[in-house]
Structure 1
Amino acid sequence: MHVLVLAFIGGLLCLRWVPVLPSQLWLLFFVVAALFLLKMRLFLLSFFLLGFSWACCSAQWALHDQLDLDLDGRTLWLEGIVVGLPQWSHIAGQPRTVRFELADAESRRAKLPQRIRLSWRAPPQTLKAGERWRLAVRLKSPDGSLNPYGFDYQAWLIAQRLGATGSVKAGQRLAVGRGLHHWREQVRSRLYQLAPEGAQGVLAALVLGDGSGLSTAHWQSLQATGTVHLMVISGQHISLLAALVYAAVFWLMRLGCWPNCLPWLPTACLLSMLAALSYGAFAGFAVPVQRACIMVMVTLLWRWRFQYLSVWTAYIVALILVLLLEPLVVLQVGFWLSFSAVGALIFAFSARLGPWPWWQLMTRTQWVAAVGLAPFLLALSLPVSVLGPLANILAVPWLSFVALPLTLLGAALLPWPTLAQEVLKLAGWALQWMFTGLDWIAQGWPVWEGSSVSLLALTLAMLGVLCLLLPRPLLPWSAALALCLPLLQPKSTHLATGIAQVWVLDVGQGQAVWIKTARHSLLYDAGPFMAGFDAGERMVVPVLRGFAQRHLDELLLSHADADHAGGAQTVFNAVQVKRVVSGQPQAHPLTLRAQPCLEERWQWDGVNFQRWQWKQAKDSNQKSCVLLIEAQGERLLLTGDLDAAGEAALLTDWPALKVNWLVVGHHGSRTSTSKRFVQQVAPQYALISRGKHNSYGHPHPQVLMHLQEQQVQIYDTALDKAIRVNLGTYQAPWTMAQQVRFWRRK
């Protein structure tokens, strides 16, 4: 039976790697074939096909619920209910922005998806969960920036069954809040009122699973010490609460304080289940919460009946129920990390020989979790904290037995503000001590940054980890560690001398271009920083880490505008930068130590580079530092935001300038890429870096007309996503949009 269940689970998991979903006719054929195979006693294949068919069918429903492409970019009036907890961003000097989800969206003019993710800049009224609103929304079909080794926003949207995004232009509240979402909103509001200053966000994360209030310093401490799971309601929190309720009933019975007319065991099990489910519902039922609730319920049901239960049974039941309820969960990184960590713990402890002391059990738990997750974290280009086990050994007991009980007790006492305030002060004090300790530990050793690895290296590492986790290793420790060594060797692209690989990254309404030769690397611009979103941190740095790029020979910033240099400080802090050059060196923070853009020629690994700047420039755009790259006679030109006057000056200084590739100036603005300039440089390809539905109207139709008149092939990051050019090979570019995935629209 277990083998058949695993075959069914395998079919469900396969959805993650399906490039194109089968049609409804094919799905019907798979179901019929599965039933036929069932009669032929080919059970494994039959169960696999059934699981695969259900997963694909569920994904089809999600795709059918997405916004019609005809409505993409249009503004409509619609009505709906605010669900979840709205997330407010407060940035000094900027108006407040709220991001929220709208359910049961309706419009008189069109059929809309059931759930929509919206943002509202400077709303005139406070928006709360559970309320019904009438909103004027500029709708967008599910889309987002896409870079190698970066976050796939489209996959996240479909996994959340969000059929559209949009920005609110105006709105009117139609009905006050009610229901569970409104209740959670009220609890958050009361927590923020009564909790001590600086601790509100942490307490809200522990009670409600709402991490939006955590500060940047908190997130950095948690990531550096591998303790992020402590601040996001996970299986540990659910299991602890259920265990506390069960233990309370048990000890009341042992002390003789339990009424004889009420059987203690069924009551303890029912109360523990109720506590776990209530906490899970209150936290929003994220994947780790779902897993923990199911495992707790299955375990308690077996305990109720006085029967022995294998931990693997509860684990498999939790896995299959989570996948059955939401097959698209396989697109979430949290699903794989959550079940991998628990699976590693069960594997290590279920086969142990004899009991361990409590202190040894605690240390081995953290060691096993760290070792079990390390290959997955590195494969996903996520940081691994070397001191994570030590941080967890200290933080987990403190949080579990001091901070979390005080926090939950304070939340339970919210109807009595005076008592709640005192208890929350104690909880805030406990959490402050915990973060102080985490900060101290984080200073001891830097995190181990992940890089892309091959499938073979990941497979060998997983085998090595399994050998390490066994109570009696099948292989010596040295052999098990040797299997993990290929994981430390990143999968890198070896470039020949005279070839340059150019990545025009998809950073929205901004620009970041990474140029790599055989042994050198240069980043031209670092992406935007707007409304609290740092493209350097979210997009550029993950690409560099994914390619195992630990240093930059030069960070060249065309000029100081936020859409080009906003992410520079983050990049500078994340990797070793030998030199920073800018068209406006004085306009950057002193920490960047930017040098002026001097006209210079140099060569790296057989690839020629040349810089230029207009000496008569008057504004920031005209001061853009221009870069020309030549490999094997093939040329690529980057002009930043240089306008038509600057382009004319460039042609005067370089009268014989001809290029194969042109990164269109100023994201396609009408002020740049003049007709004369296009005719003179005669590019074969034009690359446009801009954000979809940007408020500036880039690229301007006039610019597109100039390019089309010269029969230039146009590639656009808003449509084609990140673009890779192998300069020196005279080949067409490769784009991330060519990577076929079923959740990405053409």
Structure 2
Amino acid sequence: MALFLTADQGFFWLAAMLAVLCCALSGSFRRGGAGGGGGTPALFLHGKAGPWLRYGLTAAGCILLGFGRMKLEIRERILEEQTAAERGEESLIIAAQVEEIGETDYGYRLMVSGCEEYGPEASRIPRRMYCYTDRADGLKIGMRIRAEGTMEAPEPERNPGGFDHRSFCRAKGIGGIFRADRTAPAGPGYSRFREGICQIRLCLERRLDQLASDTDGGILKAVLLGNRSDMDQALYELYRKNGISHVLAISGLHVSILGLGLWKALRRCGFGFAAAGGAAGAFLFCYGLMTGFGPSVVRAAAMCGLSFLAAFLGRTYDLMSALCIPALALLWSRPCLLTQASFQLSFLAAGAVAFPGGFLIRRFKARGLFQTLLVSASIQAATAPAVLYHSFELPLYGIFLNLLVIPLMTYVVVSGLLGLAASLFSMKAGAALLGGAHYILGLYKAMGEGTQRLPGASLVVGRPSLAAMVLFLAGAFLGILLASRILEQRRSRPQAFLILCLFWAGSVFFFFSPPRKGLSAVFLDVGQGDGIFLSCGGRTMLMDCGSSQEKELGKDCLVPFLKSRGVDRLDTVFISHGDWDHISGIRYALEEPGCGIRIGTLVMPEPGKGKDVYAELACLADSRGIPVVYGKRGDEFSGILGPEVSIRCLSPPEGGDYGDRNDESLVTEIQYGDFRLLLTGDVGKEGEEKMREAGLLAPVTVLKAAHHGSGTSSGQEFLKAVDPAFAVLSCGRENRYGHPSPEVVKALKEQGARIWDTRERGAVMVWTDGRTMDISGYLDSRKGI
């Protein structure tokens, strides 16, 4: 792969470019009617060379250009991010132009461009940034502002499966984050047109707040206005798990209703092709501007505009040809969009309608429900690699849900638009017209909840490898060829359809990979807290997962990480002690069964039995039917990670009474062959000394430093006894406790331990076969990406 591209990014680039080129070369805007033929693309090579040679040369040229453009874009973003990171401690005054204004839980987020630093020694800073501020009074779109604050680089993905804010910012051309203490207009000028569009959107959002319930209003804002900030997150997760979240994005359906509806109305009123197309195109541009011009909106609006152009020029509208034009335009202007789910899913789904959807419909001569089923299945198959890459699970019943969801969505959009229009004259009439949308959305929710109760509703597979994605697509394509061959030989359609289903379903198994041999341990970067995941031979275990810095640790870190590894069940969960920075993620998994993570057994320290937080956790576990075990010194947990892995509890002693919860921490030694791992919780020096005096300590390969590297732990005699080759420090950046203690870091180094810190490395990943060991930091593996 080219420099700065991961294998997965390279795969998506190649897949997108090849798909785009196949679309473009399939015969764009042939002159004549829908069945007219024979035209050749006007923008591509001609001459005596055969078509495959022309197509191959064009494809090679476009891919090389695309690689070069991607490299230049990423190099530019990396330089800007390095500048932002290097100047992160400085107080800056910048001037910039406001492009977007949005609200957050803590204030406002502005997208600003044309950023320049004030001052006689002004130096280069990112030209486009997100600016976070407490107040946005008097700010308008297009206004030049002056802001004072600090700058930082966008945060990269720090754990497998986590949200990659850096990649998200790169897709928007953003090179830095500005934290403003003060913002003020630098002049009276602003864009009246864009500000007017923004005010219309805000007015429509306020009307939906008045007309609909909070639940319905949040969905309608997402569907009609592109604003998901007010949508119920639990409801969005329900849509996503069932494979119907695509209806919440503004796409071809919405644009067709608005753009084509207006175009047809103007044509019936006597307007010519040029006037009707121009008016409808201008309306779509304004609508796209109001909704944020996301990739799906750009695609749908461009394709609709191209259909107007085709009608004006008297040429046939070809879906695949029209699809390639916005794809190429978006990728050239913002190459990093290629890595985003919004771009991938929008273009893959639209392309799948033509191939394999349209191809199969023609081959099977499908009509009615069978035709709809083929299109739905084609979309699911085409988008499966991207869905798994970003969300790690496949909704098995999504194909059938979409048979009803997609047709009914037309009525939701129409009901919402009519309700908004009627509210301009009567709020009661507007609310009445929204009734259709209310009942359909209620049906969606009921269907989604019912589907989730069915066996195998979501198939957690994990993030697929490049080889798995290629094999899946190859298997699906082979199924299409064989089904087509059977139909060409005039055999029965049921036989061809059965072959197609078998190959498509069988290809899913390429996504499953056998568990890696050996013992794997991942020390998650949870901020100020602990979270250690272990697996061996398909068996899984979690020791702690909590944070005092990350408020949504379970939802944003633990669950995505587990699902990215293809894990939907934790065989055993250990809680070293009951502090929040060790249990918050586990508590989320216990309280939210809908998160999709099941727990086999919960293990807690014996001194906490029946007390405060331990009693609450035991009650939650009991409500889920999860057995609770209490551990103490001398306990051995055999079979948790398989017969080759021994887990021995070294502390706390039985019957102890502890005033400090840290002292009752479960301390466990995990041994696999010659490899030893010591997990210490927050045990203090007194507990460490008791273990040493009892003769329980032996040299270990990896030590998880107690209490995040606090000076209250990791005593000198203890470190001599365990003599770690490696030490992992799990603590938050800029934490208020000053962890890790410089004295502890010094003592570990003097003992000969090599230190791995989650603040600097992100998640720390260890693998061993019992004789050799690999250790790496997740951030290290993503440098230069």
Q: Determine if the TM-score, normalized by the shorter chain, exceeds 0.5.
A: yes
- One-letter amino acid of the counterpart of residue 164, structure 1: G
Report the equivalent of 1:438. Answer: 447
SS in 1 for 2:314: coil
Partner residue of 2:771? 729
Separation in 2, partners of 1:270, 1:735: 54
- Identify the residue that residue 566 of structure 1 maps to in structure 2: 584
1:636, 1:662 within 8 Å by CA — same for their partners in 2? Answer: yes
Instruction: Measure, in 2, the Cα distance between the counterparts of 1:211 and 1:70.
Output: 34
Report the 3-state secondary structure (helix = DSSP H, G, I; strand = E; otherwise coil) of the residue aligned with 1:502.
strand
Where in structure 2 are the equivalents of 1:184-583 lying within 5 Å? Answer: 186-187=202-203, 190-191=206-207, 193-198=209-214, 199-250=216-267, 253=268, 258-259=269-270, 262-263=271-272, 265-351=273-359, 352-353=361-362, 357-380=367-390, 382-400=392-410, 402-412=411-421, 418=427, 422=431, 425-426=434-435, 429-430=438-439, 432-445=441-454, 446-468=457-479, 473-474=484-485, 476=496, 480=500, 481-482=502-503, 484-485=505-506, 487-488=508-509, 490-492=511-513, 494=515, 499-528=518-547, 532-533=551-552, 535-572=553-590, 573=593, 574-583=596-605
Q: Distance in 1 between matches of 2:568 and 2:95?
A: 49
Aligned amino acid, residue 669 of structure 1: S
Q: Map Cα deviations across residues 436-479 of structure 1 (whole Å, 9 max, x no partner).
A: 44345434532222334454443332133335557952365565
The residue that corresponds to 1:72 in the other structure is 88
The alignment partner of 2:724 has SS state of coil
Query: Normalising by structure 2, what TM-score?
Result: 0.78
- The equivalent of 1:588 in structure 2 is 617
> 1:28: which partner in 2?
none
Distance 1:729 1:300, change over 3 A: farther
Q: CA deviation at 1:60?
A: 2.6
Report the CA distance between 1:222 and its aligned residue. Answer: 0.8
Does structure 1 retain, via aligned residues, the 8 Å contact 2:172–2:334?
no
Amino acid at match of 1:50: L
- 1:206-236 per-position Cα deviation (integer Å, ceiling 9, x unaligned): 2321112111231122113211111122233
Corresponding residue of 1:183? 199
Q: Which residue number in structure 1 is paired with residue 78 of structure 2? A: 63
Q: Is the 8 A contact 2:710 2:740 kept in 1?
A: yes
Kindly state the Cα deviation for residue 300 of structure 1 after the two structures are TM-superposed: 1.5
Q: Which residue of 2 aligns with 1:52?
A: 67
User: Counterparts of 1:158-169 in structure 2 under 5 Å?
Assistant: 158-165=170-177, 167=179
In structure 2, C-alpha distance between the alignment counterparts of 1:202 and 1:629, rounded to whole Å: 48
**Does the CA-based 8 Å contact 2:575-2:583 persist in structure 1?**
yes
Distance 1:12 1:502 in 2: 30
Tell me the residue number matched to 1:671. 712
Q: Please, which runs of 5 or more residues in structure 2 have no aligned partner?
A: 1-8, 18-52, 487-495, 609-613, 623-627
Say whether 1:628 aligns with 2:647: no
DSSP-derived class of the 1:511 partner:
strand
Closer, same or farther: CA 421–675 of 1 in aligned 2, 3 Å = farther
C-alpha distance in structure 2 between counterparts of 1:295 and 1:676, whole Å? 71
Q: Counterparts of 2:600 and 2:275 in 1: how far apart (Å)?
A: 66
**Which residue in the other structure is 1:147 paired with?**
159
Question: Displacement of 1:432 after TM fit?
Answer: 4.1
Instruction: Report the TM-score, using the length of structure 1 for normalisation.
Output: 0.82
Q: Secondary structure at the match of 1:725?
A: strand
Match of 1:213, SS state, is coil
Residue from 113, 123, 137 that aligns with 2:126: 113
Distance verdict in 2 for CA 1:506–1:702, change over 3 Å: same
Note closer, same or farther for the CA distance 1:706–1:549 as it changes in structure 2 (3 Å cut).
same
Please name the residue that 2:4 is paired with: none
- Read off the aligned partner of 1:321 and give its amino acid letter: A
Does structure 2 retain, via aligned residues, the 8 Å contact 1:194–1:424? no
Q: Structure 1: give runs of 5+ residues left out of the alignment.
A: 1-8, 18-37, 90-95
The alpha-carbon distance between structure 1 residues 304 and 691, as it changes in their structure 2 partners (threshold 3 A), is farther
1:195 Cα deviation from its structure 2 partner: 3.3
- Aligned CA RMSD, in angstroms, stands at 3.6
Residue identity in the other structure for 2:460:
E
Structure 2 match to 1:608? 646
Cα deviation, residue 414, structure 1: 6.7
1:485 and 1:350, CA in 2 relative to 1: closer, same or farther beyond 3 A? Answer: closer
Deviating more after overlay: 235-244 vs 418-427: 418-427
Query: 1:151, 1:742 → 2: CA distance?
Result: 18
The 1:224–1:519 alpha-carbon spacing in structure 2 relative to 1, beyond 3 Å, is closer
Is the contact between residue 11 and residue 466 of structure 2 (CA under 8 Å) also seen in structure 1? no
What secondary structure is seen at the aligned counterpart in 2 of 1:621?
Answer: helix
Secondary structure, aligned partner of 2:661: coil
Letter in 2 for 1:465: A
Supply the AA of the counterpart residue of 2:311.
Answer: R
Post-superposition CA distance 1:527-571 (Å, at most 9, x none): 4376652x3333323333333334322101222333321111444
**Would the aligned equivalents of 2:669 and 2:679 in 1 still touch at CA under 8 Å?**
yes
Label 1:420 to 1:712 Cα distance change in 2 as closer, same or farther (>3 A). Answer: farther
Q: Secondary structure at the match of 2:545?
A: coil
CA pair 633-353 structure 1, distance change in 2 beyond 3 A: closer
Greater mean alpha carbon deviation, residues 724-733 or residues 432-441 = 432-441
CA distance in 2, matches of 1:490, 1:651: 47
CA distance in 2, matches of 1:639, 1:222: 41
CA gap 1:656/1:671 in 2 versus in 1, 3 angstroms? closer
Tell me if structure 2 keeps the 8 A contact 1:490–1:547. Answer: no
Q: Which segment is superposed worse, 663-672 or 405-414?
A: 405-414
| Secondary structure at 1:301 match in 2 | helix
- Give the Cα separation in 1 of the matches to 2:784 and 2:697: 46
SS of corresponding position for 2:664: coil
Aligned residue number for residue 88 of structure 1: 104
Corresponding residue number in structure 1 for 2:489 = none
Aligned equivalents of 1:428, 1:560: Cα separation in 2: 46
Query: What residue identity is the alignment partner of 2:569?
Result: H
Contact 1:524 1:555 in 2 (8 A): yes
- In structure 2, distance between residues paired with 1:705 and 1:233: 56
Post-superposition Cα deviations, 1:488-521, rounded to whole Å, max 9, x if no partner, equal 255546455xx42211123333321111123532
1:6 is matched with none
Q: C-alpha displacement at 1:523, in angstroms?
A: 0.7
C-alpha displacement at 1:284, in angstroms? Answer: 0.8
Query: Is residue 766–residue 776 contact of structure 2 (8 Å, CA) maintained in 1?
Result: yes
Aligned length: 691
1:324 match: secondary structure = helix
Counterpart of 2:202 in structure 1: which amino acid?
Q
Alpha-carbon spacing, 1:529–1:242, altered in 2? closer, same or farther (3 Å): farther
Supply the distance in 1 between the matched residues of 2:236 and 2:703 (Cα, whole angstroms). 40
Identical amino acids, percent of aligned pairs: 22
In the TM superposition, structure 1's runs of 4+ consecutive aligned residues that sit over 6 Å from their partners are 9-12, 124-129, 175-178
CA contact (8 A) 2:201 2:225 kept: no
Structure 1 residues 548, 46: closer, same or farther in 2, change over 3 A?
closer
Distance 1:407 1:231, change over 3 A: same
Task: Identify if the C-alpha distance between structure 1 residues 707 and 285 changes in structure 2 by more than 3 Å, giving closer, same or farther.
Answer: same
The answer to which of 358-367 and 216-225 deviates more is 358-367
- State how far apart, in whole Å, the 1-side matches of 2:57 and 2:191 are: 51
Deviation per CA, 1:715-736, whole angstroms, max 9, x where unpaired? Answer: 1222222222224234341232
